């Protein structure tokens, strides 16, 4: 129990320290840009291997599905049409290529 509580305290201190230390200070523009881009980059790094490995015998199906979803999302509002288009493109690629 002491290890769990100690770990929680250390975790809390690490997360609250930047807020306390930066209180009243303005963040440098390069750091603000970095922190805005970081979640997107991390998400991309997590998703990309899944795209390649989603269809082990035809990795092109995942790549084509994502490409179609990206293209459709440029012209459609919401997520329904890009998702349906990606599923259809992946299915079509697996089935006929």
**Phi–psi pair at 25, nearest 5 degrees:** -105, 150
In a domain, 80, yes or no: yes
12 within a domain of the structure (yes/no): no
Q: Structure pTM?
A: 0.62
Report if residue 39 sits inside a domain.
Answer: yes
- Classify 14 in phi/psi space as left (phi over 0), alpha (psi -120 to 50) or beta: alpha
Domain span at residue 92? 28-96
Residue at 56 is within a domain: yes
Query: How high is the pLDDT of residue 81?
Result: 96
Q: What is the pLDDT of residues 18-47, one digit of tens each?
A: 889 888 888 889 988 998 999 988 988 999
Question: Is pLDDT of 61 > 90?
Answer: yes
66/33 Cα distance (integer angstroms): 26
């Amino acid at each position: 129990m002491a290890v769990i509580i100690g770990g929680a305290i250390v975790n809390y201190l690490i997360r609250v320290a930047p807020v306390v230390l930066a209180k009243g200070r303005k963040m440098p523009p390069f750091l603000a840009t970095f922190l805005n881009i970081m979640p997107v980059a991390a998400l991309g790094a997590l998703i990309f291997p899944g795209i390649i490995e989603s269809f082990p015998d035809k990795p092109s199906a995942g790549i084509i599905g994502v490409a179609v979803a990206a293209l459709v999302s440029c012209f459609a509002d919401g997520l329904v049409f890009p998702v349906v288009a990606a599923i259809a493109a992946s299915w079509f690629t697996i089935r006929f290529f």
